[in-house]
């Protein structure tokens, strides 16, 4: 059955509009690779967006955008669910509806709470940064709790929630290096272990942008947010 | 064993309404528990420790939180009268536009309603641009879901009813017949649907509630 699925996908056209560094685009790369779906990657320059990108995502004009046989889908979590429903091998979501709900809940938590709070630590100053740090610690505690007794958020295998939290595996160290602030320390042993497991996964390992290049990018961004006085 | 379904909700919350409507559309019996958000019950805090918010669905003792997550769960457990379309691409579109309502339309509407005189025109324009994009999804269909209500109609109820209440309080008419004829027609259809009228907030009570919150928000903004 898997051969038929792969043969079918070979005849299909899958394009992914992203940038070299976007963690949201990287999620989609991971999902496509996990399922063995061939695709064409188009790296955009966001300061000079292609006409195609604007045509495929007129609402947000952002990456990532997945285009499957000419039909575009944007918003990374919407894309991930689409991929899981269209290509059934190596499912990202479990069968059980309650477990599915759990994965979706945590994916949302990452995007709406955790990401925002950690970004606040990176981008803000003074009292706002302090508040963002406190919120980040609270949020990380919840995530740590969720990992109890599990290797991945998805259990034994990587799933939707792991892919969504995946930016922690390659970006937190960049943030910590650039800001000089430690965020995921020995208070979060399960998260640290998860970061190891996730980063070492054969699909995840070499799929992301190089660490050094990310440091340069975020260092420059950091300096913009915190100009030297 | 019969299913035990409880919904922790709040009468003026559009997110709570989404879940109630989905349950009613599918004919699922449930017990509704009204939460006082200024004095949250220990049960709510137990069932949703992360966000401490409504709505929370508790199915046979197991909680599910976040309205969009709950809607998907409901559709997967009770398969009659599906709320989401079958086709993966159509499902993606429904999910995309529901997110758009929450992440774009609601905040820009709030900005327009709270804007000072000099910023109001631009804020209104921005909101209307978003509303237009959504209205385009209704082209040639009575409902976002097609011939019958679906996931996106449920998500968009906030636009149908909350905007009308805010208009009465703030005086700002965002969804005019002139600018949004198709949206207005859709809203008109919703007014005639019994299940919706069963669970939407009572108009006068809702206006008073929103007025109180609006006054408080204005006071906070000017400090």
Residues of B in contact with A74 (CB under 8 A): 96
Query: Looking at residue A5, what is its pLDDT?
Result: 60
What is the mean pLDDT of the segment spanning B174-182?
95
Length of chain B: 223
Mean of the per-residue pLDDT values of chain A = 94
Alpha-carbon distance of B164 to B170, in angstroms, equals: 10
What percentage of chain A reaches a pLDDT higher than 90? Answer: 93
pLDDT digits (tens, 9 = 90+) for B60-94: 999 999 999 999 999 999 999 999 999 999 999 99
Q: Cβ of B62 and A98 within 8 Å?
A: yes
Residues of A in contact with B79 (CB under 8 A): none
Residues paired with B65 in a beta bridge: B56
Given a cut of 60, is residue B33 above it in pLDDT? yes
**Nearest CA-CA partner of A30 in A203, A213, A165, A215:** A203
* Strand intervals (E) in chain A: 14-18, 40-43, 65-68, 71-74
Distance from A95 to chain B by nearest Cα, in Å?
10
Q: B149-168 burial, b for 16+ CB within 10 Å, e for fewer?
A: bbbbbbbbbbbbbbbbbbbe
Q: Which pLDDT band holds residue A228 (cuts at 50, 70, 90)?
A: confident
| Chain B residue with minimum CA distance to A84 | B88
Distance from A213 to chain B by nearest Cα, in Å?
31
Given a cut of 80, is residue B128 above it in pLDDT? yes
Q: Cβ of A142 and B133 within 8 Å?
A: no
Closest in B50, B64, B92 to A78, CB measured = B92
Tokens of A156: 């034994």
Mean of the per-residue pLDDT values of chain B = 95
Q: Cβ of A78 and B95 within 8 Å?
A: yes
Which of A59, A101, A107, A116 to probe by mutation at the B interface, max B CB count within 10 Å? A101
Q: Which pLDDT band holds residue B217 (cuts at 50, 70, 90)?
A: confident
pLDDT digits (tens, 9 = 90+) for A97-135: 999 999 999 999 999 999 999 999 999 999 999 999 999
Distance from A60 to chain B by nearest Cα, in Å?
9
- In 3-state terms, what secondary structure has residue B154? helix
Given a cut of 60, is residue A189 above it in pLDDT? yes
Query: Looking at residue A206, what is its pLDDT?
Result: 87
Given a cut of 60, is residue A165 above it in pLDDT? yes
pLDDT digits (tens, 9 = 90+) for A8-41: 555 689 999 999 999 999 999 999 999 999 999 9
- Interface size A-B, in CB pairs within 8 Å, comes to 54
What percentage of chain B reaches a pLDDT higher than 90? Answer: 89
Query: Looking at residue B200, what is its pLDDT?
Result: 93
Q: Does the CB of A75 have a partner CB in chain B at under 8 Å?
A: yes
Q: Does the CB of A45 have a partner CB in chain B at under 8 Å?
A: no
Q: Cβ of B99 and A78 within 8 Å?
A: yes
**Nearest CA-CA partner of B158 in B149, B166, B148, B150:** B166
Q: Which pLDDT band holds residue A1 (cuts at 50, 70, 90)?
A: low
Residue A163's contacts (CB-CB under 8 Å, 6 or more residues apart) are: A27, A30, A31, A80, A92
Handedness of CA B180, B183, B189, B191 (dihedral sign): negative
Given a cut of 60, is residue B27 above it in pLDDT? yes
What is the mean pLDDT of the segment spanning B206-213?
94
Query: Looking at residue A153, what is its pLDDT?
Result: 97
Q: Does the CB of A109 have a partner CB in chain B at under 8 Å?
A: yes
Alpha-carbon distance of B129 to B75, in angstroms, equals: 31
Closest in A59, A71, A100 to B76, CB measured = A100
Burial of A166 (0-12, 13-18, 19+ CB in 10 A): buried
| Chain A residue with minimum CA distance to B66 | A105
Q: Cβ of A74 and B96 within 8 Å?
A: yes
Query: Looking at residue A81, what is its pLDDT?
Result: 98
Q: Cβ of A73 and B96 within 8 Å?
A: yes
What is the mean pLDDT of the segment spanning B52-67?
98
Query: Looking at residue A4, what is its pLDDT?
Result: 60
Given a cut of 70, is residue A3 above it in pLDDT? no
Residues of A in contact with B66 (CB under 8 A): 104-105, 108
Higher-confidence position of B215 and A72: A72
Alpha-carbon distance of B134 to B139, in angstroms, equals: 10
Query: Looking at residue B155, what is its pLDDT?
Result: 97
Tokens of A92: 């990202």
Residues of A in contact with B64 (CB under 8 A): 98, 101, 105
Distance from A72 to chain B by nearest Cα, in Å?
9
Given a cut of 60, is residue A209 above it in pLDDT? yes
Q: Which pLDDT band holds residue A6 (cuts at 50, 70, 90)?
A: low
Which of A81, A95, A105 to probe by mutation at the B interface, max B CB count within 10 Å? A105
Distance from A228 to chain B by nearest Cα, in Å?
31
Query: Looking at residue A118, what is its pLDDT?
Result: 97
Chain B interface residues facing chain A, Cβ-Cβ under 8 Å?
50, 59, 62, 64-66, 68-70, 72-73, 76-77, 88-89, 91-92, 95-96, 99-100, 133
Distance from A91 to chain B by nearest Cα, in Å?
15
Given a cut of 60, is residue B1 above it in pLDDT? no
Q: Does the CB of A71 have a partner CB in chain B at under 8 Å?
A: yes
Query: Looking at residue B116, what is its pLDDT?
Result: 87
β-sheet with B56-59: strand ranges across: B31-34, B5-9, B56-59, B62-65
Query: Looking at residue B223, what is its pLDDT?
Result: 72
Q: Cβ of A101 and B73 within 8 Å?
A: yes
Alpha-carbon distance of B131 to B139, in angstroms, equals: 13
Query: Looking at residue B221, what is its pLDDT?
Result: 76
């Amino acid at each position: 059955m898997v051969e038929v699925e792969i043969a079918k996908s070979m005849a299909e056209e899958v394009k992914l509009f992203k940038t070299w560094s976007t963690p949201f685009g990287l999620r989609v790369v991971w999902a496509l690779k996990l399922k063995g779906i061939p695709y064409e990657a188009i790296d955009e320059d966001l300061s000079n967006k292609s006409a195609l990108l604007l045509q495929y995502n007129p609402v947000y004009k952002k990456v990532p955008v997945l285009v499957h046989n000419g039909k575009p889908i944007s918003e990374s979590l919407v894309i991930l669910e689409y991929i899981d429903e269209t290509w059934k091998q190596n499912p990202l979501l479990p069968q059980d509806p309650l477990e599915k709900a759990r994965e979706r809940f945590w994916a949302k938590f990452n995007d709406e709470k955790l990401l925002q709070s950690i970004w606040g630590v990176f981008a803000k100053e003074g009292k706002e940064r302090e508040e963002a740090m406190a919120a980040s610690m609270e949020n990380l505690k919840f995530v740590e709790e969720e990992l109890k007794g599990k290797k991945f958020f998805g259990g034994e295998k990587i799933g939707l929630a792991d892919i969504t939290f995946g930016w922690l595996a390659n970006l937190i160290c960049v943030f910590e290096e650039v800001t000089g602030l430690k965020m995921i320390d020995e208070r979060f042993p399960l998260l640290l272990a998860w970061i190891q497991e996730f980063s070492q996964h054969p699909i995840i390992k070499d799929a992301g942008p190089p660490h050094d290049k990310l440091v340069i990018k975020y260092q420059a961004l950091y300096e913009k947010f915190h100009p030297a006085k | 064993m019969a299913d035990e379904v409880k919904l922790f909700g709040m009468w003026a919350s559009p997110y709570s309404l989404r879940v109630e409507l989905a349950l009613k559309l599918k004919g699922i019996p449930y017990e509704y528990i009204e939460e006082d958000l200024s004095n949250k019950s220990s049960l709510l805090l137990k069932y949703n420790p992360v966000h401490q918010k409504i709505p929370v669905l508790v199915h046979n003792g197991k909680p599910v939180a976040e309205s969009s997550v709950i809607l998907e769960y409901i559709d997967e457990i009770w398969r009659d009268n599906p709320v989401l379309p079958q086709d993966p691409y159509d499902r993606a579109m429904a999910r995309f536009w529901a997110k758009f309502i929450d992440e774009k339309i609601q905040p820009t509407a709030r900005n327009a309603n709270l804007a000072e005189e000099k910023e109001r025109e631009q804020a209104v324009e921005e909101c209307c641009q978003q509303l237009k994009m959504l209205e385009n999804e209704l082209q040639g269909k009575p409902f976002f879901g097609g011939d019958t209500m679906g996931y996106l109609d449920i998500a968009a109820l906030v636009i149908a009813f909350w905007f009308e209440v805010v208009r009465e309080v703030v005086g700002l008419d965002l969804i005019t017949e002139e600018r949004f004829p198709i949206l207005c027609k859709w809203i008109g259809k919703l007014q005639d649907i019994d299940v919706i009228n069963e669970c939407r907030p009572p108009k006068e009570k809702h206006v008073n509630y929103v007025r109180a919150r609006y006054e408080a928000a204005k006071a906070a903004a000017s400090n």
